[in-house]
Amino acid sequence: MDTDAVRQINDPLYEMLRKEDVTAFNAEKLSRADDLPSFARGDFRGLDLRGLDAKGLDFRHAYFRGADLRGINFARSAMEGASIAGAKISGCFFPRRLEASEIVMSLNHGTRMRYNAEK
């Protein structure tokens, strides 16, 4: 099995995001605060996720190609290895350990974002 492959996640929260129902996702996330699934290697390509409450979510190695992520605060999300090629990221707040150059490389070339080990 390819460990880098996109995976479908069998959880109602993931389905809400895939349907771009961010309002329902945020409400359900609050009620499940201690039981959140991992969205690692999830497929979020092309989705409009504006307004997403991303605090505490695991998006490691997830794919956001062409997604609308404007205004999302990812500061307390796990984003290492995620790819944001061609995504709309105006107003996003990324984890401190992601340097601007990593974000730009991922946005422009689809590379996976690497954390700075020193931060």
Q: In order along the chain (119 residues), what is the average pLDDT of each group of 10 residues?
A: 71 96 97 91 97 97 97 97 98 96 97 85
Number of domains, the chain: 1
Q: What is the DSSP string of 14-65?
A: HHHHHTT-HHHHHHHHHHTTTSPPP-TTBB-TT-B-TT---TT-B-TT-B-T
Range of the domain at 95: 1-119
Give the separation between CA 32 and CA 81, rounded to whole angstroms.
Answer: 25
With residue 106 as reference, give the H or E element that holds it.
helix 100-109
Please tell me the predicted confidence (pLDDT) of residue 34: 84
